[in-house]
């Protein structure tokens, strides 16, 4: 990626970050920032082997989906990646579906690489990482970072252990040998144990399995029910996401005697990609 493109991405990531509520160093809650920006965020546990996220435009709405079956730290990075697509690429009128290949940076697609770089700059900006290392880590010179330090970075910036290592290496804060040593230490001590020892956010290392669907999409569900696309069981599942019952929306239901085909709620959520 050309340095001029990287600079433009850094500028846009910084501009987005300025709108966010920040703790001392990291973004407090990126999920809430989507609401603040007017994005329609869907969080749903599709399972470990499903796509991690997508970004698309539905009518005039920007819709972002994240799979909450993945570890919370990975889901947050996925969200940052999808925001990157929205900020950088939506002028092209494209939709993006991302899996473990694109999110892990293994894709050769330029737009996927750009979205990953945007996510890294958004979650761990250069200046804030340097300030954290300067103020929060040992002030003694030539003291190498420990796995415990990485766990503290994880908690502060809401990232995974691997993402923290990759970002620190790209910023020249650690070299490849130090990265390998820290990765081995992670394997030996386990990330969950490191987070607990550092009094960090242990939830980052487990899936949230959160179900969150923008309220206005209940009309989409009701429309599909009224047109025989989904059965009452699926409608009931969707209503529970909003803490509603069938009686609460009875005035919007069309009386129809046709048998409704059984459609899984997972498939309904997936249908929003189309």
| pLDDT bucket at 260, cuts 50 / 70 / 90 | very low
Residue of 200, 126, 115, 203 lying closest to 167 (CA atoms): 126
Whether residue 264 has pLDDT greater than 80: no
Distance CA 60, CA 73 (A): 29
What pLDDT does 103 receive?
80
Distance CA 68, CA 41 (A): 12
Q: Do 155 and 141 touch, CB atoms closer than 8 A?
A: no
Whether residue 62 has pLDDT greater than 60: yes
Distance CA 88, CA 170 (A): 21
The CA angle 259-261-265, to the nearest 5 degrees, is 135
pLDDT digits (tens, 9 = 90+) for 204-242: 999 999 988 887 777 777 887 888 877 788 788 778 777
Q: Do 132 and 176 touch, CB atoms closer than 8 A?
A: no
pLDDT digits (tens, 9 = 90+) for 114-137: 999 999 999 999 999 999 999 998
**What average pLDDT score do residues 87-109 get?**
80
- The residues spanned by each domain of the chain are 3-123, 126-204, 217-271
| pLDDT bucket at 258, cuts 50 / 70 / 90 | very low
CATH number of the 3-123 domain: 1.10.10.2910
């Amino acid at each position: 990626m050309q340095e001029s493109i990287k600079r433009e991405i850094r500028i846009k990531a910084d501009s987005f970050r300025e709108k966010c509520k920040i703790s001392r160093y990291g973004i407090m809650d990126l999920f809430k920032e989507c609401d603040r920006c007017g994005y329609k965020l869907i969080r749903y546990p599709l399972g470990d082997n499903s796509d991690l996220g997508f970004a698309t435009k539905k009518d005039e709405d920007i819709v972002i989906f994240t799979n909450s079956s993945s570890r919370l730290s990975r889901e947050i990075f996925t969200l940052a990646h999808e925001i990157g697509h929205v900020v950088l690429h939506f002028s092209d009128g494209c939709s993006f579906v991302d899996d473990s290949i694109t999110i892990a940076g293994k894709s050769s697609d330029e737009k996927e690489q750009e979205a990953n770089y945007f996510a890294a700059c958004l979650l761990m900006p250069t200046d804030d990482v340097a300030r954290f290392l300067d103020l929060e880590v040992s002030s003694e010179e030539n003291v190498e970072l420990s796995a415990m330090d990485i766990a503290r970075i994880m908690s502060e910036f809401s990232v995974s252990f691997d993402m923290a290592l990759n970002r620190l290496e790209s910023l020249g804060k650690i070299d490849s040998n130090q990265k390998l040593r820290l990765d081995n230490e992670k394997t030996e001590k386990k990330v969950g144990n490191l987070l607990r020892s550092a009094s960090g956010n242990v939830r980052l290392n487990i899936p949230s399995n959160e179900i969150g669907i923008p309220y206005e999409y209940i009309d989409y569900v009701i429309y599909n029910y009224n047109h025989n696309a989904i059965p009452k069981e699926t409608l009931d599942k969707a209503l529970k996401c909003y803490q509603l019952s069938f009686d609460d929306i009875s005035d919007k239901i069309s009386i129809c005697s046709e048998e409704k085909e059984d459609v899984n709620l997972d498939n309904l959520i997936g249908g929003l990609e189309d």
